Amino acid sequence: MLVDAIILTNSNTEKAIRSTKRTMYTLRDSETDYKFNIHLVESGPDATNEYKHLVTNYINPNESFNYNRFINYTLDNLQGEWVIISNNDVGYEKGWFTEIIKIYNERPDIQSFSPKDPMLYMKYYDWHFIDSKNDYFESYLVTEAIVGWCIVIKKTALDKIIPFDEQFDMYYQDNDYARMIESKGIKHALVRHSIVTHLNTASIVKLDKAKMDKMQIDKIKFEKKWG
Question: Which domains are present in the chain?
Answer: 2-226 (3.90.550.10)
Which residue type, as a one-letter code, is found at position 13? T
- 10-residue block means of pLDDT along the chain (227 residues)? 96 94 97 97 94 95 94 97 96 98 98 90 60 83 91 98 96 97 97 90 58 92 96
Do residues 53 and 26 touch, judged by C-beta distance below 8 A? no
Greatest alpha-carbon span in the chain: 50
Q: According to the model, what pLDDT value does residue 201 have?
A: 47
Query: Read out DSSP for 92-124?
Result: EPTTHHHHHHHHHHH-TTEEEEEEE-HHHHHHT
Q: According to the model, what pLDDT value does residue 26 have?
A: 97
Residue 188's nearest CA partner among 143, 121, 227 is: 143
Residue 77's nearest CA partner among 24, 169, 2 is: 2
Residue 4's nearest CA partner among 108, 93, 107, 75 is: 75
